[in-house]
Amino acid sequence: MRILVTGAAGFIGSHLAEEFVRDGHDVVALDNFEPFYDRGIKEHNVKVGRDTAAESDGSYELTQGDIRDEDIVNEYVGDADVIFHQAAQAGVRASVEEPQKVNDVNVSGTLNMLEAARNSDTKRVVVASSSSVYGKPEYLPYDEDHPTTPVSPYGASKVAQEQYARIYNEVYNLPTVTLRYFTVYGPRMRPNMAISNFVSRCLNDEPPVIYGDGTQTRDFTYIYDVVQANKTLLDNDSADGEILNVGSTDNIEIRTLAKEIRDQLAPDLELEYGERNAADAKHTHADISKARKLLGYEPRTTIREGVEQFTEWYCDNRDWYEPLIRNS
């Protein structure tokens, strides 16, 4: 199968590309190498994809291009059997500073992708969304019927992205599925996320910094669970037109997470606290019953298991990974 992964040099996209290549598929990896964080991490992600292709029956083709470029999108969408649309302008806090940019990339770029797909023989478009669409909870856990009242331009752009995907399914009969990710983490995760930050600081004898009072909660989802949810959509049409939560088995207070990482790596350190950004959601917690029913989705990794696995990976890859995340 020929698969197009947009944002394929990023965290989630690179893991998807790697998995598909390992399974023997032909992957076209599209990425514009947006300098949101150190390019070296993305270059390493690409190397993993290429190395995997060299050891498998699959292939990996990198194209540097922007989803806002209609010509690029039209060229590569037309040859794809399935599209996994992961490309986005990331960063809740950054979106507050540049709301127009996040709209251009996440909304206009997605429209380019959908429009090209409906004029091709593409069998399905899987769109990556985010729990940021929910905003302030009216109840927890969030199910997909919960109101979407985002508190950041990033969250608003993801709501628009989701609705365009739904419309293209209903109006143009383009098979689309939208997956709402809940704080994905794991090997090669991008810098300045809580877990990578806490681990890095503790390993360097620096206190973990918690933004806010630490009572905010997160549903952290391990990368390999997210990959498995996506893989089911290669040949599963039961979720076409749907929006699905992709979360984990549990959630945790940020201060508890910081304490557990600190206690494991540097128990003598004191926790530090900073000001919480108003654009950060207070709580996230996913109801995954819909994804379980339609996809057979069953997350396997608890937050404590995942943090232990990430920490082990971090230590094994510290020589290249740490300088890049600490300089971003």
C-alpha 82/C-alpha 5 separation (Å) is: 9
C-alpha pair distances (Å), 274 with each of 184, 190, 207: 23, 21, 12
C-alpha 184/C-alpha 190 separation (Å) is: 10
Residues annotated as part of the active site:
154
Amino acid at 323: P
C-alpha 48/C-alpha 313 separation (Å) is: 15
C-alpha 137/C-alpha 146 separation (Å) is: 8
Q: Which residues, in sequence order, are CB contacts of 265 under 8 Å at separation 6+?
A: 199, 202, 203, 311
C-alpha 34/C-alpha 55 separation (Å) is: 29
Instruction: Report CA dihedral (138, 140, 142, 143) to the nearest 10 degrees.
Output: -100
Our measurement of the distance from residue 92's CA atom to the centroid of its chain's CA atoms, rounded to an integer in Å, reads: 13
Long-range contacts from 133-140, C-beta under 8 angstroms, 24+ separation: 133/158, 133/159, 133/162, 133/180, 134/281, 134/284, 135/281, 136/281, 136/282, 137/282, 137/283, 137/285, 140/283, 140/285
- Mapped onto helix, strand or coil, the DSSP state of residue 59 is strand
Helices 11-22 and 39-54 sit at what angle, rounded to 10 degrees?
10
